[in-house]
Amino acid sequence: MKKKTIIIILIITTLLAGLIYFAINSNLFSQFYAIENEGSNNKTSTDAATFLIEPYVFVGNNGYVLKGKLLNAEFEREFNKLPDTLYTLEFDDKLYAVNPSDDREKMRYSLIDDNTIKNINNYQGTHEQGLLISYLRLAIKGAAEYPIFLSSQNRYDALITNEEFNNTYKNYFGESVSNYGVSALPYDVKQGLIAFYESDEGKNYRYKIKGQQTSIDLIWKGELTGKGKKEVAILLNNKTSSLEDYYILLVYATKNHPYEKNIEYYLVYNETFYDRVLLGHLKTSSDGEDFVRPIYMGKENKVETEFDGIVLKQINQPDEVLVYNQAFDKLVKYTQLPPSKQNRSGEEDEESEEVLE
């Protein structure tokens, strides 16, 4: 009887021990699973946090950030204090889509990718972006719609992805000390320069400020054709030549081609120089007064041109001036000597050569 009782007690003890062991290990399993699950959640959260939202980059001529609609009447006063046009975009300005969509017209934008009050308050914007930043605070609070982007150009051309910008524009027009000023060129001129840089003729040329030069020495802007817009001349340096001053001058004028209605600027003139050349204007202003430099245009007497012209200055050479000829839609170069002196100068050169012989 005692033996039977002992066996029963051992069986019960074994069962109890098994239950206790299972309970303990089950708890450990649960804790382990919880830790693993938490780690997985943290990993997912970290991955989400490190995922970067790519901005859109402005590369057009005219781009504006405009107000949306008021959503909360309690903020009407602050809303009405802000203008409809919150900010005028500049080249390389970045905007983040609040509601990414294939339809750009429906998209809303912000200066930051993670729209919180803390983030917008910490955003280091420019003085010109102050109104937009104030408006974004309203949008983040839900008091107003996020702003929209508006451009006179095709918005797919004016506002491009960050990847497109890095692949197409950044190397050529990214602002730097040696590249200063080139980012302000009109959109069509930039397109023309990209095409030139990527051609066989232009692959060795780049815009580069050297030594004491400034952007004024390399970029000329003025009204050449009377089309009402400033046209552009730009000097590009040959980066592979042994000559220090080996340039090509490209001049872009405005004209609306019937077959290219969206293109305003086109290449109207180019010339290569093997020495330093300085660019000047026929028309200048000082203290509110306009001055026009009379020039020789193939005749003995000087005349004034209707529009501006590009003055080309080189050492030990008479000035030359590029003037637009409307009838032939081209620039004509005039040496700044009367014809009689030009002929005499040529004869003197020939006589000098004969003496040397």
pLDDT in tens, 42-72: 333 334 344 468 999 999 998 999 999 999 9
d(CA 96, CA 11): 71
How many Å apart are CA 110 and CA 95, to the nearest integer? 6
Q: Specify if 284 maps to a domain.
A: yes
Starting at the edge strand that comes first in sequence, how are the strands of the sheet with 94-97 ordered?
109-110, 94-97, 56-58, 159-161
d(CA 219, CA 250) in angstroms, rounded, equals 10
For the chain, the first-to-last Cα distance in angstroms comes to 146
pLDDT at 242: 83
d(C-alpha 193, C-alpha 201), whole Å: 12
Instruction: Answer yes or no: is 42 within a domain.
Output: no
Instruction: Grade residue 39 by pLDDT with cuts at 50, 70 and 90.
Output: very low
Pairing of strands 85-88, 159-161: unpaired
Domain check: are 78 and 107 in the same one? Answer: yes
Residue 292 in contact with residue 305, Cβ under 8 Å?
Answer: yes
Return the higher-pLDDT residue of 112 and 262. Answer: 112
For residue 97, is it within any domain? yes
pTM: 0.77
* Of residues 47 and 182, more confidently modeled: 182
Q: Is the pLDDT of residue 200 over 90?
A: yes
Same-domain pairing of 64 and 183: no
Look at residue 260 in the predicted model and tell me its pLDDT.
58
Confidence label for 290 from pLDDT (cuts 50, 70 and 90): confident
251 has a pLDDT exceeding 90: yes
What proportion of the chain, given as a percentage, has pLDDT over 90? 60
- Please report whether residue 19 resides in a domain: no
**Six-digit token pair at 287?**
């203290």
Same domain, 208 and 341: yes
Structure tokens at 279: 């660019």
Confidence of residue 3 (pLDDT cuts 50, 70, 90): low
Nearest to 185 by CA among 233, 115, 241: 233
Count Cβ atoms below 10 Å from residue 110 Cβ, excluding itself: 24
- Average pLDDT over the chain, rounded to whole? 83
Per 3-state DSSP, the chain is made up of helix, strand and coil in percentages (nearest 5) of 35, 25, 40
Q: In what order do the strands lie in the sheet with 63-66?
A: 85-88, 63-66, 148-151
Report the C-alpha gap between 321 and 343 in whole angstroms.
18
Domain membership of residue 126 (yes or no) is: yes
pLDDT per residue over 202-239, tens digit each?
999 999 998 888 899 999 999 998 877 789 999 999 98
33 in a domain, yes or no?
no
Domain of 118? 56-161
pLDDT in tens, 96-144: 999 888 777 789 999 999 999 999 999 999 999 999 999 999 999 999 9
Residue 340's pLDDT is what? 87
Q: How many domains does the chain have?
A: 2
- Are 233 and 225 spatial neighbours (Cβ–Cβ below 8 Å)? no
Q: How confident is the model at residue 12 (pLDDT cuts 50, 70, 90)?
A: low
Domain boundary among 117, 134, 161: 161
Residues contacting 44, CB < 8 A, separation 6+: none
Cα angle 310, 303, 293 (rounded to 5 degrees) comes to 45
Give me the pLDDT at residue 175, please: 85
Q: Tell me, yes or no, whether 75 and 141 share the same domain.
A: yes
Beta-bridge partners for 161: 56
Indicate if 100 and 197 belong to the same structural domain.
no
User: What's the CA gap between 117 and 106, in Å, rounded?
Assistant: 24
Residue where one domain finishes, among candidates 121, 144, 161: 161
Domain boundary among 161, 190, 213: 161
Instruction: Examine residue 9 and state whether it is found in any structural domain, yes or no.
Output: no
What are 148's strand-pairing partners? Answer: 66
Residue 295 covered by a domain: yes
Least confident of 63-72, 106-115, 181-190, 252-261: 252-261
Encoded tokens for 134: 């104030």
42: helix, strand or coil = helix
**What pLDDT is stored for residue 32 in this prediction?**
37
Task: Flag whether pLDDT at 248 surpasses 70.
Answer: yes
The span from the CA of 165 to the CA of 92, in Å, is 8
pLDDT value of residue 2 = 55
- The residue with greater pLDDT, 241 or 75, is 75
